[in-house]
Amino acid sequence: MSEGVRIERRGAVMTVTLDRPKANAIDGATSRALGAAFIAYRDDPELRAAIVTAAGDRFFSAGWDLNTAEEESVEVDNGPGGFAGLTELFDLQKPVIAAVNGMAAGGGFELALSCDLILAAGHAEFFLPEVNIGIAPDAGGAIRLPRRIPYHVAIEMMLSGRRMPATEAHRWGFVNRVVTKSDLLAEANALADEIASKAPLAVAAIKQIATSTAVLSEQAAFELLRSGKLEHYERMLKSDDSLEGARAFNEKRPPVWRGR
């Protein structure tokens, strides 16, 4: 374990666990350790899905470690992935699942928002309290939340700091599933295994298309798609894996994905 970060590998799935009692708060060193984990995931062709979760069942993460706030200030070195190692890791074209096991506050919520899927225990809560301490949620909260849910709902959360329970988050659509806390990791692992069984180049292409076209008009999105500039999509089109699915179907066997 490095700087409160535990990493486990199980086949093609990597689990990153934040373990910093009592609230799993994140300082610069922890951000860098998380970033190193996500970069290792990005660069390992054997890994196809990742889960990020936290120890305990009260806090997923309280966000920025206020005990180090005065000394770190705005000059903190969070590493190439930005705060929590993931919020600005824009070249990660593999899926990350957040398994939110408790309160996701401030930067903890921003870490969850930077994931591709969010599973939450029934008692989990999401909130951005930065306005109460004179700052803005600038590790993705003020950018990503209004793109995930209606603007008026997002702006109310940020201006008031109110807590949103997991069931309401699921209704608004930024949480995929709400499960019991005892089932959370099993559900996350089952979802990770399902994704890891799919064609990895297709998974990367889907994520790249979705993220690269998110704020474009449909016409502009199609123009980008056909431009040859989306490298993961282009790699998928030219791959043997793109032929393997049809081949396996015709031969009545499961496909064997080789990532090439």
Q: pLDDT value at position 65?
A: 87
Q: pLDDT value at position 76?
A: 82
> How many Å apart are CA 156 and CA 164, to the nearest integer?
11
What is the architecture of the domain spanning 5-196?
A: Alpha-Beta Complex (3.90)
Largest CA distance in the chain: 64
Residues lower than pLDDT 50 in the chain: none
Q: pLDDT value at position 187?
A: 98
| Residues forming the active site | 110, 130
Q: Collapse the DSSP code of 228 into the 3-class scheme (helix H, G, I; strand E, B; otherwise coil) and give the result.
A: coil
Condensed to tens digits (0 to 9), the pLDDT of residues 103-115 reads: 999 999 999 999 9
Domain boundaries, the chain: 5-196, 200-250
Q: pLDDT value at position 51?
A: 98
Beta strands at 96-100 and 49-54: parallel, antiparallel or unpaired: parallel
Q: pLDDT value at position 193?
A: 98
Q: pLDDT value at position 43?
A: 97
Q: pLDDT value at position 2?
A: 72
Q: pLDDT value at position 24?
A: 97
